[in-house]
Structures are given as structure tokens and as C-alpha cells.
Copies of this chain bind each other. A is one copy, B any other.
Amino acid sequence: MRAERFVCLAGGVGAAKFLQGFVNVVPPEDVVVVVNTGDDMELHGLHISPDLDIILYTLAGIVEEVKGWGIRDDTFQCLSMLQRYGCETWFNLGDKDLATHVYRTKLLKDGFSLQEVTARLSQQLGLRETILPMTNDKFETRILTDRGEMHFQEYMVKYGMQRHVVGVKFEGDKQAKPCPEVLNAILHASGIIICPSNPIVSIGTILSVKGIREALRKTKAKVVSISPIIGGTAVKGPAAQLMLSLGMEVSAFSVANLYKDFVDFLILDKIDKNLKKRIETLGLQTVVTDTLMRTAEDKVRLAKVAFSCL
């Protein structure tokens, strides 16, 4: 085992951007990323892991940077043909991207765990980081809306978040075990980063897996989180809507409140500096800085700030 090991809890695009910066601050070999798999789904008979793919593609340098997901310069020929066959095509599947799902599905069918599959994909893509799914077990984030319950991806992609959310449910949180390495990595980490991801359905999902929250409370490593909520709204995705629907104030304060039992530092944006004092009443230390990641430099700068807290 390496002497230094930094564990990062990650959702999709926001986390991936942060990690791009972070691996410029610490050696990629020292980074363990624990990724949300609550958004995983089966579509066209293929196992799709949206957040794992975003992290893999981003760290491999092949992500479509504008959207933040999918593979650069991809085409959509297979999807257009699936449409001709009358299949649902609301979930965008690029032709290159599809190779990941086909290969993953094949390996899972052959009996490999999601973690083993992820390790193999990482290796083939030339990653030096360790990417771990939060669990190898079946786990599904369900969104309860006024028009019925649905998979998170249906809510977000199929219906474009145009549903009134009344709750969030994690199917599998009673049975699912974290990946074998996850708890140990957290307990013996040199430092832990809670990436700027959705606190309800990305980080919240990871925290709902048995033992993970407890390990975060127990670890001696510093735990640093970056608020994904800036100026009362989420940079990307449905974090604001979900927080609102659960009766929360949409702010970095709520993020701090959700993490207060295990987080040492919250990094919040300058625009939210008025929340500093209030957050500190929760027992957290704060760092106020620019948290919006537009350029490669932004990402490295933010990662340096996070690293300085560890």
C-alpha cells in the first residue's frame, strides 16, 4: 500500500472537474475515488454506470468537455438505429460510449464484480487513480414525484427535472455493502475530499451505504468538502430542486448541515461568504474562495485550497 492515500467521494461532472485539478496536486496513484452508483441502470439490456463513466472518461482525458459527460467526438448511429427499432432513446448513448456499456455488461455477466470491471476499464484507459464503485451490490436511487416514482435518470434525463419531487428513496441501502476496499481506505486515508457533487443523490447516496458514514466519522484523516451550491443554486444538475423538495434551504449552509457529523472543513464560494459564521456554528471550519471551475487553472487552484486543509 502506498504511504499516502487520498480518498475522494464523487458523483459525476462536478466531482470529475475537481479531480482533474486534484491529480495535479497529488500523484494520481495516491488518489482513491469512491463513486456513486445509485444512478446505475439497465437500458437496452446494458449495464450503464453514469457517474463511473464520467469519472473514467474525464480522468482518461476523453470526456466531451462541454457537456461534461460522454466521449469527445462521439457519434450516435447506434442510438438512431435503436430508435428505428422502437426503443426508448431518451438516454443519450454515443457509439464509443456504448463500448463501455457493452464491455461492462459482458464482464458482469461473466461473473466479475462492478469493482473488478471498473478496475479493468481504468487500466485500459490508462488511469493511474483507483476508481471504486461505492458498492458492488444492486442499489438504486428512486425519485418520488407527484406523478409517480421513477429512476433518478428518468427524472433527470427523460423528464428533464420537470417533475415535482416529494422525496428520495434508496433501494438497496438495507442490503448493499460497500466495496471491500472502501471502509479501509476511508479509515486509513491521509485525507478525505467530499467532492462538489449533489449532497442528496450523489454524496447522500454514497453516505447511505452501510458503514461509510460511520467510517467517515471514525477516521483520523481530515475530511474536507466543497459546496456544490453556489449563491443559492447548483452549478449543474438537480441539487437545488431536490433540496427544496426536501424542505431545505438551498445553500452551502444546508450542505454543511448534511455533512456536519463527519466533515472538518467546508470550502464555500466567495459569493456565499455571508454564510461563513452561520456554518461555523455547526462546528465546521470554513474556507472562502472561488469555487466555480471554468478553466484547468480554476480546477488546480481549488484542489490546492482543498489539499491545504488536509
Contacts and interface: CB of A to CB of B under 8 A. Distances in A.
Interface of A: 44-46, 71, 74-75, 77-82, 84-87, 94-100, 102-103, 105-106, 109-110, 120-121, 124-125
A94 B77 CA distance: 9
A227 to B, nearest CB: 35
19 contacts: A45-B102, A46-B102, A71-B81, A75-B75, A75-B77, A77-B77, A78-B78, A78-B96, A78-B99, A79-B99, A81-B97, A81-B98, A81-B99, A82-B103, A84-B124, A85-B120, A85-B121, A87-B99, A98-B102
Contacts of A124: 84-86
Q: Is the interface of A mostly helix, strand, loop or mixed?
A: helix
Given A86-B124, A109-B45, A124-B86, A80 B96 contact: yes
A79 B77 CA distance: 13
Nearest to A101: B102
Contact of A95 (B46, B75, B105, B125): B75
**Most B C-beta atoms less than 10 A away, residue of A44, A78, A124, A125:** A78
Contacts of A85: 99-100, 103, 120-121, 124
Nearest to A105: B45
**Most B C-beta atoms less than 10 A away, residue of A98, A102, A120:** A102
B82 A102 contact: yes
Given A96-B80, A109-B45, A87 B75 contact: no
B109 A95 contact: no
